[in-house]
Amino acid sequence: MIIGVGIDVAEIERFRLSMERTPHLADRLFLKSELNLPSGERRGIASLAARFAAKEALAKALGAPAGLHWTDAEVYVEDSGQPRLRVSGTVLARAETLGVRSWHVSLSHDAGIASAVVIAEG
């Protein structure tokens, strides 16, 4: 049963400028594991923008409640190349309240836009 669906897009250049303007923004949005991408994975601002879009989409799939912490959601990619979500803390608490048992996530970036779709399934 689908509990929630979220979608988000991020303009890559705008995201890059925000990251440059606010030096500690990366630490507020991402875990170290997200900032240090594995060598086989595309690096760069486009990948981070897609991960940010996934976190926004995740919040929307959960009903966008106040109090979620960005670093309580980790976007990672399996060896197969499939993106995944790992949740903890505030995000896990909200997911458990709603009965979420699994996540589906899709990331993309092209033509200056990063996008993500997240489906919360019970």
Domain borders along the chain are 2-121
Q: Which residue has the higher pLDDT, 80 or 41?
A: 80
Instruction: List beta partners, residue 110.
Output: 113
Predicted local distance difference test score (pLDDT) of residue 35: 87
Q: Cα separation of 33 and 53, whole Å?
A: 17
CA 85 to chain centre: 7
Identify the CATH assignment for 2-121 out of 3.90.470.20, 3.50.50.60, 3.40.50.2000, 3.40.50.620.
3.90.470.20
pLDDT tens by residue, 75-109 = 999 989 899 999 999 999 999 999 999 999 999 99
Predicted local distance difference test score (pLDDT) of residue 1: 96
Instruction: Quote helix, strand, coil % in the chain, to nearest 5.
Output: 40, 30, 30
Residue 43 reports pLDDT greater than 80: no
Confidence band (pLDDT; 50, 70, 90) for 40? very low
